[in-house]
Amino acid sequence: MSSTPAVSQGPEPLHAVQVLGSGSAGSGAHVRSLAAGLVARGLRVTVCAPGRTGLRYGFTEAGAAFEALPTGTDALAVAGIRAAVADADVVHAHGLRSGVLAALALRGRATPLVVTWHRRVRAVGARAHMVRLMERRAARRATVVLGASSDLVDQARLRGARDARLAPVAFPAPRPAPDPGEDEVPRDKVRAELGVLGRPLLVAVGRLEPDQGYGLLFDAARRWRELDPEPLLIVAGEGSQRALLQWRIEDEGLPVRLVGLREDVPELLAAADVAVLPSCWEARSLLAQEALHAGVALVATSVGSVPDLVGDAAQLVPFGDAEALAVAVSGLLADPVRRARLAAAGRLQAASWPSEDDTVAHVLSVYDELGSRF
């Protein structure tokens, strides 16, 4: 069901349709920020996504129209997109599957297609072959592919993209900080609700999937049982690996708690002593950005674009080395002065990242360029 489009400036505003799937935390927040910025600049914006994604990110509150896509089959989703883009000046798909569906919906039409690749899709066996085919179709059909990291741009070119570019992807502005002297009360309240008063709190956030590195993280957690006091690791997120991870927690007696999807991740991070990012690959990790914005010491695997993103404001360890991860976290827990230095460096690093205005301006320049071609 469609919502009423926001009133746009100008007699014939450019109509940009954003296509999004289930929406990881990073891509969903990016599309909402982008939609709000484009609407503020006079564009008419429609977001096509599953209904639950629309509810989660509030695209209509950002001034965009919203088209809920059917969730049954790809054919139904393609039909929904095709109807929504009937009068579009540009279609902008986010993610691999959305790019393929948008390409199918635009078959036979000259409407330019922009596809943003936010992350790498990892697969093995037959599924890896299917992913390569999808990447090839999305890359070759797109007028422009925007990559959130340089290796994603290289991947798009490898798959046949005519025009692939590195694009700034901003972290949405954090909520205003509390007044001085007020921050300790919420922090203590969150820690009390989690049952971690008197012990260190570690926080990891992300999908419970194999590429997120939770096996490595749990290997490190075995070593933290020897610490006194023993830290508690909170993992926020859901995914296919939940049952397996819960079994490991219970079987090995790990100091870990799975807390599911949370809407209060900023509060969890503000209450944490250390944030941990154990992924095997990341572009512009949302957790890393949230942690540095929040002024929380971060230990992360040195993969993908993480080193460029965090600079010297986090402690990096090699992926696959559980011992190095365990030692890095233990060392920070024992050194509050170093944690404070990393927290301060994190805020400075965060201030150097592209702003939401930078991101919107870049995307708008791409749209304008495409408009002059057609």
Q: Does domain 15-170+355-373 have CATH number 3.40.50.2000?
A: yes
Tokens 């090839």 sit on residue: 136
Q: What is the pTM of this model?
A: 0.81
| Mean of pLDDT values over 256-270 | 92
Q: Three-state SS for 201? A: strand
Comparing 175 with 271, the larger pLDDT belongs to 271
* β-strands 65-69, 44-50 pairing: parallel
Structure-block tokens of residue 249 = 């927690």
Tokens 């939940």 sit on residue: 242
Task: Work out the mean pLDDT of the chain and round it to a whole number.
Answer: 89
- Residue 66 bridge partners (DSSP): 47
Statement: residue 72 has pLDDT above 90: no
Let me know if the fold of 15-170+355-373 is the same as that of 184-351. Answer: yes
Q: How far is CA 71 from the centre of its chain?
A: 22
Q: pLDDT tens digit string along 19-54?
A: 998 756 678 889 999 999 999 999 999 999 999 998
Sheet hosting strand 144-147, strand order edge to edge:
65-69, 44-50, 15-20, 90-94, 113-117, 144-147, 164-166
Contact between 261 and 237 (Cβ < 8 Å): yes
Contact between 118 and 146 (Cβ < 8 Å): no
Q: Three-state SS for 254? A: coil
Q: pLDDT tens digit string along 103-131?
A: 999 999 999 999 999 888 777 778 888 98
Q: What distance in Å separates the CA atoms of residue 215 and residue 230, rounded to the nearest whole number?
A: 20
pLDDT at position 29 = 86
Q: pLDDT tens digit string along 138-184?
A: 999 999 999 988 889 999 999 999 999 999 888 765 554 445 444 45
Q: How far is CA 364 from the centre of its chain?
A: 21
Q: Three-state SS for 340? A: helix
243 φ/ψ angles, rounded to the nearest 5 degrees:
-60, -45
Contact between 221 and 274 (Cβ < 8 Å): no
Q: pLDDT tens digit string along 193-217?
A: 888 888 999 999 998 988 899 999 9
The secondary structure of 233-252, three-state, reads EEEECCCCCHHHHHHHHHHH
Q: What distance in Å separates the CA atoms of residue 214 and residue 301, rounded to the nearest whole number?
A: 12
Contact between 75 and 8 (Cβ < 8 Å): no
Statement: residue 132 has pLDDT above 80: yes
Residue ranges covered by each domain of the chain: 15-170+355-373, 184-351
CATH of domain 184-351: 3.40.50.2000
